[in-house]
């Protein structure tokens, strides 16, 4: 009963390095999302994928790219990490957009130095 | 534009006291609203949905369309209720819109 699985759980990057955050869900959900969580800012949507084969920008997409690899997997890539991207990143999935709410992963705590 | 406002960043209450976490929304249609809870360094979990009208862990929330509010209430706070609470709006065919969250601290 895994739900939404994110890897890695923790990561430290140097400015300018790149990395990919992985997310996989086993609930046969159509929609997947990437959020970042910062103190005082709440959850901000980075990118989302309404269905396999589609991706769209959210509120804060700059500096990120995504890939919906298949129905289960949705990855987030930082091409050239910046200290402003230090955050906790959450992946989520849902069926029928979000009518029944989201299921969240456990998060990736990323620090860019 | 759709918006969710949680006016309190931090709410401190004593154990056994009533709790009310405020949530106001801006949406022209019939809203679907949620409350999520995040315990320390854990994932966000769905607490309740207004369409199911259920009570989870003693929490309830009533949709007031006239006041465009969906406040979360509990009659007697417990220490284990200390967490971050997010109100969210489903506008239909777009992702959930989250408020900035309220941190609830229950003091023993």
pLDDT in tens, A20-38: 999 999 999 999 999 999 9
Q: Which residues contact B34 (CB under 8 A, 6 or more apart)?
A: A101, B46, B47, B48, B49, B50, B87, B88, B89, B90, B96
| Banded model confidence at residue B41, pLDDT cuts 50, 70, 90 | confident
* B51 pLDDT above the threshold of 90: no
Q: For chain B, say whether A40 makes contact (Cβ under 8 Å).
A: yes
CB-CB contact of A63 with A44 (8 Å): no
DSSP single-letter state for residue A84? G
pLDDT for res B39: 95
CB-CB contact of A110 with A89 (8 Å): yes
**Distance in angstroms (rounded) separating the CA atoms of residues B96 and A45:** 9
pLDDT for res B37: 96
- For chain B, the average pLDDT equals 92
* B53 pLDDT above the threshold of 80: no
| Banded model confidence at residue A1, pLDDT cuts 50, 70, 90 | low
Would you call B46 and A33 a contact, using CB atoms and an 8 Å cutoff?
no
Would you call B49 and A104 a contact, using CB atoms and an 8 Å cutoff?
no
Task: Pick the residue from chain A with its C-alpha nearest to B6.
Answer: A42
Compute the nearest-CA separation of B96 from chain A (Å): 7
| Banded model confidence at residue A97, pLDDT cuts 50, 70, 90 | low
Across the range B9-25, mean pLDDT stands at 97
pLDDT for res B36: 96
Q: For chain B, say whether A90 makes contact (Cβ under 8 Å).
A: yes
% of chain B beyond a pLDDT of 90: 71
Q: For chain A, say whether B108 makes contact (Cβ under 8 Å).
A: no
* B72 pLDDT above the threshold of 80: yes
| Banded model confidence at residue B29, pLDDT cuts 50, 70, 90 | confident
Pairing of strands A10-13, A108-112: parallel
Sheet containing strand A64-68, strands side by side:
A4-7, A19-25, A74-78, A64-68
């Amino acid at each position: 009963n895994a739900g939404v699985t994110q890897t890695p759980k923790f990561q430290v990057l140097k400015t300018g390095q790149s990395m990919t955050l992985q997310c996989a869900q086993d609930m046969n959900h159509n929609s997947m999302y990437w959020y970042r969580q910062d103190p005082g800012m709440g959850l901000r949507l980075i990118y989302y994928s309404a269905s396999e084969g589609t991706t769209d920008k959210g509120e804060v997409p700059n500096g990120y790219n995504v890939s919906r690899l298949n129905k289960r997997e949705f990855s987030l890539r930082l091409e050239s990490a910046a200290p402003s991207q230090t955050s906790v990143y959450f992946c989520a999935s849902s069926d029928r957009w979000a009518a029944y709410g989201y299921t969240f992963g456990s998060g990736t705590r990323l620090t860019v130095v | 534009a759709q918006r969710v406002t949680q006016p309190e960043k931090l709410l401190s209450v004593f154990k056994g006291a009533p709790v009310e976490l405020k949530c106001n929304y801006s949406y022209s249609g019939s809203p679907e609203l949620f409350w999520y809870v995040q315990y320390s360094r854990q994932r966000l979990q769905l607490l309740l949905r207004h369409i199911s009208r259920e009570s989870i862990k003693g929490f309830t929330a009533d949709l007031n369309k006239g006041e465009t509010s969906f406040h979360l209430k509990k009659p007697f706070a417990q220490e284990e209720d200390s967490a971050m609470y997010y109100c969210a709006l489903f506008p239909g065919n777009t992702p959930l819109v989250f408020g900035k969250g309220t941190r609830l601290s229950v003091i023993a």
